[in-house]
Amino acid sequence: MTKIGLEIHCQLTNLKSKLFCSCKANYREFEINENICPICMGLPGSLPRLNQEAVKKATLIAMALNCTTPNKIAFFRKNYFYPDLPKNFQITQLNIYGDTSIGGTGSIMVGDKKINITRIQLEEDPGRLIYEGSSSKNQITLVDYNRAGTPLVEIVTEPDFENPKHVREFLNILSDLLENLGVADPSLDGAMRADANVSIQGGKKVEVKNIGSFHDLEKAVHFEITRQNSLHDRDIEIIQETRHWDDKRKITISSRSKEEDLDYRYFLEGDIPWITIDPEIQEKLKLEMPESISSKKERYVSKYNIPPQVADVLSSDKFYSELFDKSHTESNAKEIANIITTDLMGLVDTREKREESKITSTHLRDLADSIQSEKISRISAKNALHEILKTGKSVADVITELDLGTVSNESELSEIIKEVIISEPEAVEQAKSNPQTINYLVGKIMQKTKGKADPKLSLDLLKQQLDDL
Protein backbone atom coordinates (compact mmCIF):
# COMPACT_ATOMS: atom_id res chain seq x y z
CA MET A 1 0.00 0.00 0.00
CA THR A 2 1.30 3.43 -0.93
CA LYS A 3 1.33 6.19 1.69
CA ILE A 4 2.07 9.83 0.91
CA GLY A 5 2.28 12.68 3.39
CA LEU A 6 2.97 16.33 2.64
CA GLU A 7 4.81 19.22 4.23
CA ILE A 8 3.49 22.36 2.58
CA HIS A 9 5.22 25.72 3.04
CA CYS A 10 2.99 28.73 2.41
CA GLN A 11 4.36 32.26 2.54
CA LEU A 12 2.05 34.89 4.04
CA THR A 13 2.57 37.17 1.06
CA ASN A 14 -0.14 39.68 1.98
CA LEU A 15 1.75 40.93 5.06
CA LYS A 16 3.73 44.17 5.03
CA SER A 17 6.79 42.99 6.96
CA LYS A 18 8.82 39.88 7.79
CA LEU A 19 8.13 37.65 10.77
CA PHE A 20 10.64 39.13 13.22
CA CYS A 21 11.74 42.45 11.73
CA SER A 22 10.46 45.45 9.76
CA CYS A 23 11.97 44.41 6.40
CA LYS A 24 9.34 44.04 3.70
CA ALA A 25 7.66 40.66 3.30
CA ASN A 26 7.47 41.31 -0.47
CA TYR A 27 11.16 40.59 -1.11
CA ARG A 28 10.60 40.01 -4.83
CA GLU A 29 10.75 43.73 -5.69
CA PHE A 30 14.33 44.13 -4.43
CA GLU A 31 17.77 43.61 -5.92
CA ILE A 32 19.76 40.72 -4.47
CA ASN A 33 20.63 41.11 -0.76
CA GLU A 34 18.99 44.53 -0.54
CA ASN A 35 15.98 43.67 1.70
CA ILE A 36 17.97 42.72 4.82
CA CYS A 37 18.72 44.03 8.31
CA PRO A 38 20.71 42.91 11.40
CA ILE A 39 17.69 40.93 12.72
CA CYS A 40 16.96 38.78 9.65
CA MET A 41 20.72 38.36 9.11
CA GLY A 42 21.15 37.14 12.69
CA LEU A 43 23.87 39.64 13.64
CA PRO A 44 25.03 39.53 17.28
CA GLY A 45 22.97 41.73 19.58
CA SER A 46 19.91 41.87 17.29
CA LEU A 47 16.59 40.79 18.83
CA PRO A 48 13.54 39.41 17.02
CA ARG A 49 10.16 41.11 17.40
CA LEU A 50 7.14 38.97 16.50
CA ASN A 51 4.77 40.18 13.78
CA GLN A 52 1.31 40.01 15.40
CA GLU A 53 -0.49 40.09 12.06
CA ALA A 54 1.40 36.97 11.01
CA VAL A 55 0.04 35.16 14.09
CA LYS A 56 -3.51 36.23 13.17
CA LYS A 57 -3.18 35.17 9.51
CA ALA A 58 -1.68 31.81 10.48
CA THR A 59 -4.51 31.28 12.99
CA LEU A 60 -7.04 31.95 10.21
CA ILE A 61 -5.44 29.18 8.13
CA ALA A 62 -5.61 26.80 11.10
CA MET A 63 -9.30 27.59 11.62
CA ALA A 64 -10.10 27.14 7.92
CA LEU A 65 -8.49 23.67 8.06
CA ASN A 66 -10.58 22.79 11.13
CA CYS A 67 -7.48 22.61 13.35
CA THR A 68 -7.39 23.16 17.08
CA THR A 69 -6.03 26.60 18.01
CA PRO A 70 -4.22 26.73 21.38
CA ASN A 71 -4.36 29.78 23.65
CA LYS A 72 -0.59 29.68 24.17
CA ILE A 73 2.09 29.21 21.51
CA ALA A 74 5.87 28.91 21.73
CA PHE A 75 8.82 29.30 19.36
CA PHE A 76 11.90 27.10 19.17
CA ARG A 77 15.33 27.22 17.61
CA LYS A 78 15.88 24.53 14.99
CA ASN A 79 19.63 24.19 14.59
CA TYR A 80 21.13 23.33 11.23
CA PHE A 81 24.00 24.72 9.23
CA TYR A 82 23.11 25.61 5.66
CA PRO A 83 24.38 28.70 3.81
CA ASP A 84 20.82 30.01 3.26
CA LEU A 85 20.29 30.25 7.04
CA PRO A 86 22.33 33.24 8.27
CA LYS A 87 21.74 32.61 12.02
CA ASN A 88 22.62 28.90 11.69
CA PHE A 89 19.23 28.17 13.21
CA GLN A 90 15.62 28.68 12.18
CA ILE A 91 12.97 30.12 14.49
CA THR A 92 10.05 27.72 14.20
CA GLN A 93 7.56 25.77 16.35
CA LEU A 94 7.48 22.31 17.87
CA ASN A 95 4.79 20.46 19.85
CA ILE A 96 7.17 19.25 22.54
CA TYR A 97 5.09 20.73 25.40
CA GLY A 98 1.71 19.70 24.03
CA ASP A 99 -0.09 21.64 21.29
CA THR A 100 1.94 24.85 21.29
CA SER A 101 2.11 25.39 17.50
CA ILE A 102 -0.28 27.79 15.79
CA GLY A 103 -2.58 24.89 14.85
CA GLY A 104 -3.10 21.36 16.15
CA THR A 105 -4.86 18.42 14.54
CA GLY A 106 -7.45 19.13 11.86
CA SER A 107 -8.79 17.86 8.55
CA ILE A 108 -10.07 18.81 5.12
CA MET A 109 -12.15 16.85 2.61
CA VAL A 110 -10.77 16.12 -0.87
CA GLY A 111 -13.69 14.69 -2.78
CA ASP A 112 -15.04 11.94 -0.53
CA LYS A 113 -11.70 11.36 1.24
CA LYS A 114 -10.70 12.96 4.54
CA ILE A 115 -7.14 14.32 4.72
CA ASN A 116 -5.94 14.71 8.30
CA ILE A 117 -3.71 17.62 9.32
CA THR A 118 -1.01 16.77 11.89
CA ARG A 119 -0.08 20.35 12.82
CA ILE A 120 0.38 23.85 11.46
CA GLN A 121 3.40 25.87 12.51
CA LEU A 122 4.53 29.47 11.98
CA GLU A 123 8.18 29.95 11.09
CA GLU A 124 10.65 32.06 9.13
CA ASP A 125 11.64 31.26 5.56
CA PRO A 126 15.38 30.82 4.90
CA GLY A 127 17.28 32.66 2.17
CA ARG A 128 17.37 31.52 -1.42
CA LEU A 129 20.21 29.58 -3.06
CA ILE A 130 21.17 30.55 -6.61
CA TYR A 131 23.25 28.18 -8.72
CA GLU A 132 25.43 29.52 -11.52
CA GLY A 133 27.62 27.63 -13.98
CA SER A 134 26.90 25.35 -16.90
CA SER A 135 28.22 22.14 -15.36
CA SER A 136 29.03 20.57 -12.00
CA LYS A 137 32.73 21.34 -12.49
CA ASN A 138 32.34 25.10 -12.70
CA GLN A 139 29.06 25.53 -10.80
CA ILE A 140 29.04 27.98 -7.90
CA THR A 141 26.38 28.54 -5.24
CA LEU A 142 25.29 32.07 -4.34
CA VAL A 143 22.90 33.14 -1.60
CA ASP A 144 20.21 35.82 -1.74
CA TYR A 145 19.08 36.68 1.82
CA ASN A 146 16.15 38.91 0.79
CA ARG A 147 13.74 36.05 1.53
CA ALA A 148 15.27 35.23 4.95
CA GLY A 149 12.72 35.89 7.69
CA THR A 150 9.65 35.94 5.43
CA PRO A 151 6.57 34.68 7.36
CA LEU A 152 5.94 31.06 6.48
CA VAL A 153 3.21 28.65 7.51
CA GLU A 154 4.10 24.96 7.37
CA ILE A 155 1.16 22.56 7.04
CA VAL A 156 2.00 18.93 7.85
CA THR A 157 -0.46 16.22 6.82
CA GLU A 158 -0.83 12.61 7.82
CA PRO A 159 0.19 10.05 5.14
CA ASP A 160 -3.40 9.87 3.88
CA PHE A 161 -2.72 10.24 0.15
CA GLU A 162 -2.62 7.10 -1.95
CA ASN A 163 -1.63 8.44 -5.37
CA PRO A 164 -0.03 11.51 -7.05
CA LYS A 165 -3.32 12.72 -8.53
CA HIS A 166 -4.86 12.88 -5.07
CA VAL A 167 -1.90 15.02 -3.93
CA ARG A 168 -2.39 17.45 -6.81
CA GLU A 169 -6.13 17.80 -6.05
CA PHE A 170 -5.41 18.59 -2.40
CA LEU A 171 -2.83 21.26 -3.27
CA ASN A 172 -5.25 22.91 -5.70
CA ILE A 173 -7.92 23.03 -2.97
CA LEU A 174 -5.42 24.41 -0.44
CA SER A 175 -4.20 27.03 -2.90
CA ASP A 176 -7.77 28.21 -3.51
CA LEU A 177 -8.42 28.27 0.24
CA LEU A 178 -5.36 30.46 0.96
CA GLU A 179 -6.35 32.93 -1.73
CA ASN A 180 -9.95 32.95 -0.53
CA LEU A 181 -8.79 33.76 3.02
CA GLY A 182 -6.80 36.73 1.71
CA VAL A 183 -3.60 35.60 3.48
CA ALA A 184 -1.47 34.78 0.45
CA ASP A 185 -1.13 34.81 -3.31
CA PRO A 186 -0.09 31.21 -4.16
CA SER A 187 0.57 32.14 -7.80
CA LEU A 188 3.72 34.11 -6.86
CA ASP A 189 7.01 32.34 -7.50
CA GLY A 190 8.02 30.31 -4.45
CA ALA A 191 4.98 31.39 -2.43
CA MET A 192 3.74 27.83 -2.02
CA ARG A 193 6.13 24.88 -1.95
CA ALA A 194 5.75 21.29 -0.84
CA ASP A 195 7.88 18.31 0.18
CA ALA A 196 6.50 14.79 -0.05
CA ASN A 197 7.07 11.81 2.26
CA VAL A 198 6.58 8.56 0.34
CA SER A 199 6.53 4.95 1.52
CA ILE A 200 5.24 1.67 0.08
CA GLN A 201 4.28 -1.70 1.54
CA GLY A 202 4.73 -0.39 5.06
CA GLY A 203 8.40 0.36 4.36
CA LYS A 204 10.69 3.22 5.34
CA LYS A 205 9.76 6.83 4.60
CA VAL A 206 11.60 8.80 1.90
CA GLU A 207 11.33 12.59 1.81
CA VAL A 208 11.43 14.29 -1.59
CA LYS A 209 12.44 17.97 -1.55
CA ASN A 210 13.32 20.77 -3.97
CA ILE A 211 10.04 20.56 -5.90
CA GLY A 212 9.24 23.77 -7.76
CA SER A 213 5.56 23.37 -8.70
CA PHE A 214 2.43 21.29 -8.15
CA HIS A 215 2.95 19.76 -11.59
CA ASP A 216 6.50 18.75 -10.68
CA LEU A 217 5.35 17.42 -7.31
CA GLU A 218 2.93 15.08 -9.02
CA LYS A 219 5.75 13.85 -11.29
CA ALA A 220 8.21 13.52 -8.40
CA VAL A 221 5.82 11.45 -6.29
CA HIS A 222 4.98 9.23 -9.26
CA PHE A 223 8.70 8.63 -9.95
CA GLU A 224 9.46 7.91 -6.29
CA ILE A 225 6.63 5.35 -6.04
CA THR A 226 7.92 3.65 -9.19
CA ARG A 227 11.51 3.65 -7.87
CA GLN A 228 10.53 2.16 -4.51
CA ASN A 229 8.34 -0.50 -6.12
CA SER A 230 11.25 -1.47 -8.36
CA LEU A 231 13.57 -1.84 -5.36
CA HIS A 232 10.94 -3.83 -3.44
CA ASP A 233 10.39 -6.22 -6.34
CA ARG A 234 14.15 -6.93 -6.43
CA ASP A 235 14.38 -7.39 -2.64
CA ILE A 236 16.61 -4.32 -2.30
CA GLU A 237 16.29 -2.41 0.97
CA ILE A 238 14.63 1.01 0.77
CA ILE A 239 16.72 3.45 2.80
CA GLN A 240 15.14 6.19 4.90
CA GLU A 241 16.62 9.29 3.32
CA THR A 242 16.06 12.72 1.83
CA ARG A 243 16.04 12.91 -1.96
CA HIS A 244 15.94 15.90 -4.28
CA TRP A 245 13.90 16.25 -7.45
CA ASP A 246 16.07 16.77 -10.54
CA ASP A 247 13.83 18.77 -12.84
CA LYS A 248 16.10 18.35 -15.88
CA ARG A 249 16.27 14.54 -15.72
CA LYS A 250 12.82 14.11 -14.08
CA ILE A 251 14.17 11.80 -11.38
CA THR A 252 14.78 11.90 -7.63
CA ILE A 253 18.41 11.93 -6.44
CA SER A 254 19.74 10.83 -3.06
CA SER A 255 20.77 13.84 -1.01
CA ARG A 256 21.40 12.80 2.59
CA SER A 257 20.16 10.53 5.32
CA LYS A 258 16.84 11.62 6.77
CA GLU A 259 17.23 13.72 9.90
CA GLU A 260 15.21 13.09 13.03
CA ASP A 261 13.99 15.80 15.40
CA LEU A 262 16.88 15.05 17.77
CA ASP A 263 19.39 15.94 15.05
CA TYR A 264 18.14 19.53 15.03
CA ARG A 265 18.78 20.08 18.78
CA TYR A 266 15.55 22.01 19.31
CA PHE A 267 15.34 24.33 22.33
CA LEU A 268 13.01 27.16 23.32
CA GLU A 269 13.70 30.52 21.67
CA GLY A 270 14.90 32.61 24.62
CA ASP A 271 14.38 35.96 22.88
CA ILE A 272 10.65 35.36 22.27
CA PRO A 273 8.44 34.66 25.32
CA TRP A 274 5.43 32.37 25.25
CA ILE A 275 2.62 34.08 23.33
CA THR A 276 -0.90 34.13 24.75
CA ILE A 277 -3.67 34.43 22.18
CA ASP A 278 -6.74 36.00 23.76
CA PRO A 279 -9.88 33.88 23.15
CA GLU A 280 -11.66 37.10 22.16
CA ILE A 281 -9.19 37.54 19.30
CA GLN A 282 -9.90 34.00 18.15
CA GLU A 283 -13.64 34.67 18.22
CA LYS A 284 -13.13 37.89 16.27
CA LEU A 285 -11.09 36.02 13.65
CA LYS A 286 -13.88 33.46 13.31
CA LEU A 287 -16.36 36.26 12.61
CA GLU A 288 -14.00 37.86 10.07
CA MET A 289 -13.35 34.60 8.25
CA PRO A 290 -14.71 34.71 4.68
CA GLU A 291 -17.23 32.20 3.42
CA SER A 292 -15.62 28.84 2.69
CA ILE A 293 -15.39 27.53 -0.87
CA SER A 294 -17.66 24.57 -0.09
CA SER A 295 -20.26 26.82 1.54
CA LYS A 296 -20.10 29.20 -1.42
CA LYS A 297 -20.62 26.34 -3.87
CA GLU A 298 -23.59 25.06 -1.88
CA ARG A 299 -25.13 28.57 -1.89
CA TYR A 300 -24.72 28.95 -5.65
CA VAL A 301 -26.44 25.61 -6.28
CA SER A 302 -29.28 25.94 -3.76
CA LYS A 303 -30.10 29.63 -4.11
CA TYR A 304 -29.47 30.27 -7.81
CA ASN A 305 -29.94 26.77 -9.24
CA ILE A 306 -26.51 26.84 -10.85
CA PRO A 307 -25.30 23.37 -11.98
CA PRO A 308 -22.90 21.82 -9.40
CA GLN A 309 -19.99 21.54 -11.86
CA VAL A 310 -20.36 25.25 -12.79
CA ALA A 311 -20.69 26.25 -9.12
CA ASP A 312 -17.56 24.23 -8.31
CA VAL A 313 -15.48 26.12 -10.88
CA LEU A 314 -16.98 29.49 -9.96
CA SER A 315 -16.57 29.20 -6.19
CA SER A 316 -12.98 27.90 -6.19
CA ASP A 317 -11.43 31.06 -7.67
CA LYS A 318 -11.63 34.25 -5.62
CA PHE A 319 -11.35 36.58 -8.63
CA TYR A 320 -14.33 35.04 -10.45
CA SER A 321 -16.48 34.41 -7.36
CA GLU A 322 -16.11 38.05 -6.28
CA LEU A 323 -17.09 39.23 -9.77
CA PHE A 324 -20.12 36.97 -9.65
CA ASP A 325 -21.22 38.06 -6.17
CA LYS A 326 -20.91 41.76 -7.06
CA SER A 327 -22.70 41.54 -10.40
CA HIS A 328 -25.57 39.06 -10.15
CA THR A 329 -29.20 39.53 -9.22
CA GLU A 330 -31.80 36.84 -8.57
CA SER A 331 -32.91 36.97 -12.19
CA ASN A 332 -29.56 36.98 -14.01
CA ALA A 333 -27.37 34.80 -11.73
CA LYS A 334 -27.34 31.75 -14.03
CA GLU A 335 -26.60 33.90 -17.08
CA ILE A 336 -23.68 35.66 -15.36
CA ALA A 337 -22.31 32.32 -14.12
CA ASN A 338 -22.51 31.08 -17.70
CA ILE A 339 -20.68 34.15 -19.08
CA ILE A 340 -17.89 33.82 -16.51
CA THR A 341 -17.29 30.06 -16.84
CA THR A 342 -17.91 29.73 -20.60
CA ASP A 343 -16.36 32.93 -21.97
CA LEU A 344 -14.49 35.06 -19.43
CA MET A 345 -12.28 32.34 -17.94
CA GLY A 346 -10.90 31.51 -21.37
CA LEU A 347 -10.11 35.16 -22.11
CA VAL A 348 -8.36 36.07 -18.82
CA ASP A 349 -6.65 32.77 -18.00
CA THR A 350 -3.47 34.30 -16.51
CA ARG A 351 -2.71 36.71 -13.69
CA GLU A 352 -1.33 39.25 -16.17
CA LYS A 353 -4.48 39.17 -18.32
CA ARG A 354 -6.67 39.65 -15.25
CA GLU A 355 -4.69 42.70 -14.16
CA GLU A 356 -4.81 44.21 -17.66
CA SER A 357 -8.53 43.58 -18.20
CA LYS A 358 -11.05 46.42 -17.82
CA ILE A 359 -13.96 44.19 -16.85
CA THR A 360 -16.18 45.23 -13.92
CA SER A 361 -19.24 43.81 -12.21
CA THR A 362 -21.35 46.46 -13.98
CA HIS A 363 -20.18 45.17 -17.36
CA LEU A 364 -21.20 41.61 -16.48
CA ARG A 365 -24.59 42.68 -15.14
CA ASP A 366 -25.37 44.78 -18.25
CA LEU A 367 -24.13 42.03 -20.55
CA ALA A 368 -26.35 39.40 -18.90
CA ASP A 369 -29.35 41.75 -18.98
CA SER A 370 -28.77 42.44 -22.69
CA ILE A 371 -28.77 38.71 -23.43
CA GLN A 372 -31.90 38.06 -21.39
CA SER A 373 -33.76 40.98 -22.99
CA GLU A 374 -32.62 39.67 -26.41
CA LYS A 375 -30.83 42.89 -27.31
CA ILE A 376 -27.85 40.76 -28.29
CA SER A 377 -27.25 37.06 -28.92
CA ARG A 378 -24.87 34.86 -26.91
CA ILE A 379 -22.38 34.94 -29.80
CA SER A 380 -22.53 38.73 -29.99
CA ALA A 381 -22.11 38.91 -26.22
CA LYS A 382 -18.79 37.07 -26.49
CA ASN A 383 -17.63 39.54 -29.16
CA ALA A 384 -18.68 42.40 -26.89
CA LEU A 385 -16.75 40.84 -24.01
CA HIS A 386 -13.53 40.88 -26.06
CA GLU A 387 -13.90 44.63 -26.62
CA ILE A 388 -14.89 45.38 -23.01
CA LEU A 389 -11.80 43.59 -21.66
CA LYS A 390 -9.57 45.76 -23.86
CA THR A 391 -11.29 49.14 -23.58
CA GLY A 392 -13.57 49.13 -20.54
CA LYS A 393 -16.33 50.78 -22.62
CA SER A 394 -19.92 50.35 -21.52
CA VAL A 395 -21.94 47.45 -22.90
CA ALA A 396 -24.34 49.86 -24.63
CA ASP A 397 -21.48 51.70 -26.39
CA VAL A 398 -19.84 48.45 -27.53
CA ILE A 399 -23.13 47.11 -28.92
CA THR A 400 -23.63 50.33 -30.90
CA GLU A 401 -20.04 50.73 -32.13
CA LEU A 402 -19.66 47.11 -33.24
CA ASP A 403 -23.24 46.84 -34.52
CA LEU A 404 -23.93 43.80 -32.35
CA GLY A 405 -27.64 44.36 -31.88
CA THR A 406 -29.91 41.35 -32.47
CA VAL A 407 -31.42 40.98 -35.92
CA SER A 408 -35.09 40.47 -35.01
CA ASN A 409 -36.84 42.02 -37.98
CA GLU A 410 -39.01 39.25 -39.46
CA SER A 411 -38.84 40.37 -43.07
CA GLU A 412 -35.07 40.82 -42.91
CA LEU A 413 -34.61 37.41 -41.29
CA SER A 414 -36.99 35.77 -43.77
CA GLU A 415 -34.84 36.94 -46.68
CA ILE A 416 -31.69 35.61 -45.05
CA ILE A 417 -33.41 32.27 -44.39
CA LYS A 418 -34.45 32.02 -48.05
CA GLU A 419 -30.80 32.49 -49.06
CA VAL A 420 -29.73 29.73 -46.68
CA ILE A 421 -32.40 27.33 -47.99
CA ILE A 422 -31.30 27.94 -51.58
CA SER A 423 -27.60 27.48 -50.77
CA GLU A 424 -28.11 24.30 -48.70
CA PRO A 425 -30.44 21.98 -50.74
CA GLU A 426 -29.02 18.75 -49.29
CA ALA A 427 -29.45 19.90 -45.69
CA VAL A 428 -32.97 21.11 -46.46
CA GLU A 429 -33.83 17.69 -47.88
CA GLN A 430 -32.36 15.91 -44.84
CA ALA A 431 -34.27 18.22 -42.49
CA LYS A 432 -37.55 16.74 -43.74
CA SER A 433 -36.66 13.34 -42.25
CA ASN A 434 -34.08 14.33 -39.63
CA PRO A 435 -35.15 17.25 -37.39
CA GLN A 436 -31.58 17.56 -36.02
CA THR A 437 -30.45 18.94 -39.37
CA ILE A 438 -32.44 22.08 -38.63
CA ASN A 439 -29.76 23.03 -36.09
CA TYR A 440 -27.22 23.01 -38.91
CA LEU A 441 -29.38 25.39 -40.92
CA VAL A 442 -29.85 27.69 -37.91
CA GLY A 443 -26.05 27.74 -37.61
CA LYS A 444 -25.80 28.90 -41.22
CA ILE A 445 -28.28 31.69 -40.47
CA MET A 446 -26.14 32.76 -37.51
CA GLN A 447 -23.07 32.77 -39.75
CA LYS A 448 -24.74 35.03 -42.29
CA THR A 449 -25.81 37.46 -39.57
CA LYS A 450 -22.44 37.22 -37.73
CA GLY A 451 -24.18 35.78 -34.70
CA LYS A 452 -26.73 38.59 -34.46
CA ALA A 453 -29.87 36.71 -35.47
CA ASP A 454 -32.49 36.05 -32.81
CA PRO A 455 -32.10 32.24 -32.39
CA LYS A 456 -35.71 31.52 -31.38
CA LEU A 457 -37.22 33.71 -34.10
CA SER A 458 -34.82 32.27 -36.69
CA LEU A 459 -35.86 28.74 -35.78
CA ASP A 460 -39.58 29.55 -35.96
CA LEU A 461 -39.28 31.29 -39.34
CA LEU A 462 -37.09 28.51 -40.70
CA LYS A 463 -39.65 25.84 -39.72
CA GLN A 464 -42.40 27.87 -41.42
CA GLN A 465 -40.47 28.11 -44.67
CA LEU A 466 -39.55 24.43 -44.60
CA ASP A 467 -43.21 23.49 -44.07
CA ASP A 468 -44.14 25.60 -47.11
CA LEU A 469 -41.73 23.74 -49.41
Q: How far is CA 48 from CA 158, 276, 335, in A?
A: 32, 17, 53
The whole-angstrom distance between residue 227's C-alpha and the CA centroid of its chain comes to: 30
In 3D, which of 363, 333, 461, 327 has the Cα closest to residue 407?
461
How is 113-171 classified by DSSP, letter by letter?
EEEEEEEEEEEE---EEEEESSSTTT-EEEEEGGGTT-EEEEEEE-S-B-SHHHHHHHH
Query: Would you give the DSSP letter of residue 111?
Result: T
Provide the residue-wise pLDDT of the chain in tens; the chain has 469 residues. 899 999 999 999 999 999 999 999 999 999 999 999 999 999 999 999 999 999 999 999 999 999 999 999 999 999 988 899 999 999 999 998 889 999 999 998 887 789 999 999 999 999 998 888 776 677 888 999 999 999 999 999 999 999 998 899 899 889 989 998 999 999 898 899 999 999 998 788 999 987 878 889 999 999 999 999 999 999 999 999 999 998 888 999 998 776 667 788 999 999 999 999 999 999 999 888 888 888 899 999 999 999 999 998 899 888 899 999 999 988 999 999 999 999 999 999 887 888 889 999 999 999 999 888 878 888 888 889 999 999 999 999 988 888 777 666 666 677 777 777 778 878 777 777 777 777 788 777 777 777 667 677 777 777 777 777 6
The whole-angstrom distance between residue 404's C-alpha and the CA centroid of its chain comes to: 36
In 3D, which of 238, 241, 242, 220 has the Cα closest to residue 230?
238
Please say whether the structural domain 410-468 has been given the CATH code 3.90.550.10.
no
3-state SS of 234-265?
CCCCCCCEEEEEECCCCEEEEEEECCCHHHHC
What's the predicted TM-score (pTM) here? 0.77
From-to residues of CATH 1.10.10.410 in the chain: 410-468
Amino acid at 184: A
Q: What is the chain's percent helix, strand, coil content, to nearest 5?
A: 45, 20, 40
